[in-house]
Amino acid sequence: MDTTYKTNSAAYWENLPLDETDQDQLYAFALSEGKPCHLDKFVHPIVEAHCQRELERIVALQKEGLPYQPAESYSVGQDLRFAALGHRLGTIKSIRKGHNPRFGPFTVIAVELESPTELREFVSDFPAAHALNLPVAPEDKAPKVDTVIQLYGQYIREQVAEALLSNQEFVSYNGLWLLKDLLLEVHVGHLNIAEAMIDVAGAPIAPEELLAEMDFPEDADPSLQAFSLNYALTQDARFSNTGTDEKPLWHLVRLLQEGENT
């Protein structure tokens, strides 16, 4: 059985299977953040969750058989996993005294290995240094989340973007993503205030200025207020952004048309 970390391979991240669990992860992350987040911020929890799932898979596999270590003492009937033999599993059938003047006293375990079934012998209680004695914690070989993002972030970002796009629970504006449920309510009154402000000014107005006149909850994050307002204005045919996505300037379509006609 293969106990190498799939999360170490490019192939895994290039064809990241973003399933329902991942969608739940994206939802949970967006909810905990509570404000609009850039695509990059969604990548981290997804990579972290995949690394964690892989670690759990490997730990479960390793529990099926203790990793064989020459220095250890064993008893008949124990199941062991042999790292140097492609992680094959085996059961100890008998134990005898070992003999080799080169080393101190040691024992020899006869192990019935699986796939294919065969009986082979291994040292135990071995007094000399042996490479297999070095304990390797499963997470030691597991890739670090930041390393994965550094190496494969480009592929993961593309797939996270696809997952967000296909998810009806999310809305986006200017590369930021937010749960629909977290949008602040921008009601008709708010939109009418915005329209009146621009009308009076006779010129486009930045969202921060418009927000100053609106009664959004004071404890709402400014980025959430701006996102909610910008998103609502994009959905209303009266308004047009004459700035950029990063620095929007909201104008009235009506005034723009009047300007064109004069």
Partner 1 sequence: MLYLRADVNTEFQIDWSKIERPDLNRTQVMEEYLCASCREELEKHPDSQEMVDGVDMVTGEVHRVSLVHEHLVICCSAQPDYITPTTPLSTALFRALLATWNHRLTPLELQKQLGVRRSNPEAILRLLTRGPVRESIIPVPTA
Residues forming contacts to partner 1 in the complex (CB under 8 A) are: 68, 70, 82, 84-85, 98-103, 106, 108, 116, 120-123, 126, 128, 130-132
At closest approach, how far in Å is the CB of 120 from partner 1? 6
Exposed / middle / buried, residue 193 (Cβ in 10 Å: 0-12, 13-18, 19+):
middle
Tell which residue, 88, 108, 90, has the closest CA to residue 98. 108
CB closer to partner 1 out of 128 and 253: 128
CB closer to partner 1 out of 77 and 116: 116
Helix (H, G, I), strand (E, B) or coil at 131: helix
CB closer to partner 1 out of 122 and 250: 122
At closest approach, how far in Å is the CB of 70 from partner 1? 4
At closest approach, how far in Å is the CB of 131 from partner 1? 7
CB closer to partner 1 out of 122 and 239: 122
Helix (H, G, I), strand (E, B) or coil at 238: coil
Which are the contacts of 160, defined by CB distance < 8 A and separation ≥ 6?
18, 26, 39, 42, 43, 46
CB closer to partner 1 out of 101 and 135: 101
Amino acid, single-letter form, for residue 197 = M
Helix (H, G, I), strand (E, B) or coil at 219: coil
At closest approach, how far in Å is the CB of 100 from partner 1? 5
Q: Where are the alpha helices (DSSP H) in 121-187?
A: 138-141, 145-165
Distance CA 106, CA 125 (A): 5
Consecutive H or E run containing 61: helix 39-63
Distance CA 63, CA 213 (A): 62
CB closer to partner 1 out of 65 and 70: 70
- Residue 86: DSSP 8-state: T
